[in-house]
Amino acid sequence: MTAHPYTIDPTIERLLHIGQLPDLFERFGMRRPHKNNVRRWLTTGTRGVVIPSVLVGGKRYTTQAAVQWWIATSTAAKPLGG
């Protein structure tokens, strides 16, 4: 897994609960992902890149900018097997 250089600052960025991510992907014009896909992208990632997130009060959050970073970075990353 790639260590991500993206850092979420909850004091200046609007946090999104992970349950809001399927709606966010739809707003980006993508198919609505299943909640299990979102959880996997947050924990194990895809192509070695995870969606950056923070844990606040036992709940996981991310930001729109972090998701956009993840889309760009995971798209640019080489497949793990190749």
pLDDT in tens, 2-41: 555 789 998 999 999 999 999 999 998 989 999 999 999 9
Question: What pLDDT score does 81 carry?
Answer: 62
Q: Which residue has the tokens 């760009």?
A: 72
Mean pLDDT score across all residues of the chain: 89
Does residue 61 surpass a pLDDT of 90?
yes
Q: pTM value?
A: 0.83
Among residues 45, 47, 26, which one has the least CA distance to residue 37?
A: 45
Q: Which two tokens stand for residue 3?
A: 């260590």
Does residue 66 surpass a pLDDT of 80?
yes
3-state secondary structure of 66: helix
Rounded mean pLDDT, 61-67: 95
Domain ranges in the chain are 16-75
